[in-house]
Structure 1
Amino acid sequence: MALYLVFNCVCLFACSERHTFTITYTEINGQTIARIPEVSAVATLDGLQIDYYDSVRKKLIPKQDWVAIESRNIWKDYTEIREQVRQINKINITVLMQQLNQSHGVHVYQRMYGCVWDYKTNDSDGFDQHGYDGEDFITLDLKKLRYNSPVPQGIPIVQKWNNDSQQLQLLKQYCEQDRIDWIKYFLELGKDALERKGMSPLVSLVQKNSSSPVVCHATGFYPSEVNITWLRNGEEHYEDVELGELLPNEDRTFQKTSTLSIYPDEWKKHQYVCVVEHKTGTIQKNLTEDEIRSNKSKLIIKCYNAILFSLLILPVNFLYFIFIENVTIPALSTWWLFCE
């Protein structure tokens, strides 16, 4: 079955405009905990697990029914790709340990890459992050088509990759076309199971105790686009505000938080309002004692395996230990090694 299909201009995912496809490889060198694979590969679409591969089973496992019905030949091909990437990653981490003068111990190399695509505008953006031992190591600036490293040890590798113009052009094509085709492919494949109407967020103000920051928590909404802001006496307020990550729920809805760190005396003297803007409408919560739910309240926060799935969509430096059953698609992981 051909990978690149011709799609009509339809409202995929029931008019959700932006879609994110993410792939994560995790390679562990050294003695691991029992039953934890040396290599695992994960793919998600809008936070939903697609498939899984690891070096123990050496088998590509679909994690959605609508994925499982796909041609077995494709799964066979991509199982082979996972195995190729596993072998290359094993070389990568070995070379990296040598460059860092590390001869023993447990070390983790990860690559998380993917694409964000807006079906209405056809705009796209990509990301490619490499991590080592829980820290960011190399990242891609897709607009400039250049790799960067926040650590001195990564500079020689970045220079080598950036000097390979042919591979950079292949990367550009992969980010702007191939990954988008994969998003369209999976959206079309699972549209019957994934289509849904817009769902309004449930908004709550949460506080651990009287001196803790106040969290504005929005959950249960779909699609994922949401804007959370704080107002102070009717004007937008950005000081002492920390916006949380967008997280998926197990029912394929989403949740997000915005934390306001001020003393109770401050918000009692002024009017603070949390404003949640979503496709389904705007919800406002006035910051008052009656509105706040403490840790003794019966607040139900929908989470999708809170730690594992949260880690899955955070930056590489938070992806230290991801061992969940997912998989990847053909990656450029099969091209550059860390050294000649």
Structure 2
Amino acid sequence: MTILVVLVLLGLHSAAAVIHSLKNLVTGSSQAPNFPEFVAVGMVDDVQVDHYDSNTRRREPKQDWVNRLIEDDPNFWESPEEILRVHQQLYNDSIGPLMHSFDQTGGVHILQVMIGCEWDDETGDVNGSTWIGYDGEDFISFDLKTEKWIARKQQAEIIKQKWDTNRALNAWLTHYIIQRCPYYLKKFVNYGRSSLMRTDLPSVSLLQKTPSSPVSCFATGFYPDRAKMFWRKDGEELHENVELGEILPNHDGSFQMNVDLDLSSVRPEDWRKYECVFWLSGVNDDIITKLDKAAIKSNEGPSGFPLGAVIGGVVVLLLLVVGIVGFFLWKKNNNWFQPANTTDVSSSSLSSSVEVQNTGL
């Protein structure tokens, strides 16, 4: 069977936050010819750091600071190669039985694997998780405390029973998540700190197409893309008569977003009670913009609505969409990680070269 592997780029994470993440991601689909059978990527704070596929059989750095790390430590990739073998074994041993359990005989079907960890560089706390998704839904996950698998679908029960007996695989996963994954993550953060910790504040404007149109609070030029915008009245966040736009990329690598407020039922004398709030992860102070009629820009005239910036962001987004055709984004929930019990497994009790065997279903 030929397999198309699709990258999962998800879970937003602030480069300036004290909690850092390392995610090893694999996604594949069946019956898609002329594509590698296996692809894996590493993501540090949701920035891609490497790429591997079964055609080249090479792990390639994707950041300059990763290249510097490899130059200083030429053996850095040797141990992480093991997780690629685990991913590939989980994938190869799963796709056929999964299709059988769902009574599927053909067609394109998506399988995804994530093994990752989070590390708080202030408290030293480590959390981690392993999950597998199938056709866009959670299928099975690994419980670090019990070293057992949790079936998320009825069809996963038989797979859970098989994998629960594979002590070598489960011990390796536990050891990797709470010992080795944080080690690699700390090295990545040490070398990429200046890039990963970058924060750029936006310019914020109030825009309105016509006097009867909603007022749009528009922020552009911020980085990273872990941000939030909302309207509030008398200090309380509003949810009614508010429309939140998506975060879009600008041509320079920064981002833009907007949130609209319908004022059709608001008396002019009450406008002063409203304000727009922009929050950027890793920045202590919010950017607050008071609703002031005199500050609102229209889409008429050279100083009006910045259509160029908006259109530019949309064009960039369309180009990105074209560039990632065939890629499948399925996981939108950021809460991937469950606390790891760091007392369950010690680094001395597990060999770093443990051989994973009998993962077949």
Once structures 1 and 2 are overlaid, which stretch shifts more, 214-223 or 99-108?
Answer: 214-223
TM-score (norm 2): 0.64
Whether the 8 Å CA contact 1:85–1:333 is kept in 2: the answer is: no
The 3-state SS of whatever aligns with 1:136 is: strand
Conservation of the 8 A alpha-carbon contact between 1:273 and 1:287: yes
Structure-to-structure mapping, 1:302-317, within 5 angstroms: 306-307=320-321, 315-316=330-331
- Give the conservation status (yes or no) of the 8 Å contact 2:49–2:66: yes
Deviates more, 1:145-154 or 1:121-130: 145-154
* CA 1:15–1:141: 2 relative to 1, 3 Å: same
Q: Counterpart of 1:17?
A: 18
User: 1:165 deviation in Å?
Assistant: 7.7
SS at match of 1:58: coil
Deviation at 1:126, TM superposition (A): 2.5
Instruction: Tell me if 1:120 matches 2:122.
Output: yes
| Aligned twin of 2:288 | 284
1:63 is aligned to 2:62: yes
How many angstroms does 1:27 deviate by? 2.5
Map of 1:337 onto structure 2: 359
1:76 Cα deviation (Å)? 5.2
Separation in 2 of the partners of 1:68 and 1:125?
27
Q: Encode CA deviations 1:34-86: one digit per residue, 9 max, x unaligned.
A: 4x322111111122221101111111111122323414444355456535632
- Alignment coverage as a number of residue pairs: 310
Partners of 1:42 and 1:51 within 8 A in 2: yes
Instruction: Give the aligned partner of residue 9 of structure 1.
Output: none
Deviation at 1:226, TM superposition (A): 4.8
Q: What does 1:31-180 correspond to in 2, within 5 Å?
A: 31-32=32-33, 34=34, 36-69=35-68, 70=70, 71-75=73-77, 78-79=80-81, 81-83=83-85, 85-139=87-141, 147-158=149-160, 161=163, 171-180=173-182
The alpha carbon displacement at 1:110 in A equals 0.9
Partner of 1:324: none
CA contact (8 A) 1:203 1:217 kept: yes
Residues 189-208 of structure 1 show CA distances to partners (whole Å, capped at 9, x for unaligned) of 334x5276643233456789
Tell me which residue corresponds to 1:30.
Answer: 31
CA RMSD between the two structures: 4.8
Deviates more, 1:267-276 or 1:229-238: 267-276
Post-superposition Cα deviations, 1:189-234, rounded to whole Å, max 9, x if no partner, equal: 334x527664323345678999998775655445676554431244
Q: In 2, distance between residues paired with 1:140 and 1:29?
A: 24
Question: Cα distance 1:190–1:132, how it changes in 2: closer, same or farther (>3 A)?
Answer: same
Query: Which one-letter code corresponds to 2:182 in the other structure?
Result: I
Deviates more, 1:108-117 or 1:168-177: 168-177
1-structure distance, mates of 2:82, 2:173: 21
Cα 1:101/1:235, change in 2 over 3 Å:
closer
- Structure whose alpha-carbon radius of gyration is higher: 2
Change beyond 3 A, Cα 1:284–1:86: same
Residue 25 of structure 1 contacts residue 42 of structure 1 at CA under 8 Å; is this kept in 2? yes
Aligned partners of 2:168 and 2:355 also within 8 Å: no
Task: Tell me the amino acid that sits aligned with residue 64 of structure 2.
Answer: D
The CA distance in 2 between the partners of 1:244 and 1:178, in whole Å, is 39
Of all paired residues, the percent bearing the same amino acid is: 32
Please tell me whether the aligned partners of residues 204 and 217 of structure 2 are also in contact (alpha carbons under 8 angstroms). yes
Q: In the TM superposition, what is the alpha-carbon distance from 1:89 to its structure 2 partner?
A: 1.2
- In structure 1, C-alpha distance between the alignment counterparts of 2:27 and 2:186, rounded to whole Å: 26
1-structure distance, mates of 2:138, 2:19: 26
Equivalent residue letter for 2:109: H
| Aligned mates of 1:31, 1:243 — CA distance in 2 | 36
Q: Give 3-state SS (helix, strand or coil) of 1:194's partner.
A: helix
**1:299 aligns with one of 309, 320, 327:** 309
TM-score, normalised by the number of residues in structure 1: 0.67
Q: Secondary structure at the match of 1:190?
A: helix
- Shift, 1:244, TM fit: 8.0
Q: SS at 1:199's partner residue?
A: coil
Q: Retained in 2: the 8 A contact 1:50–1:62? A: yes
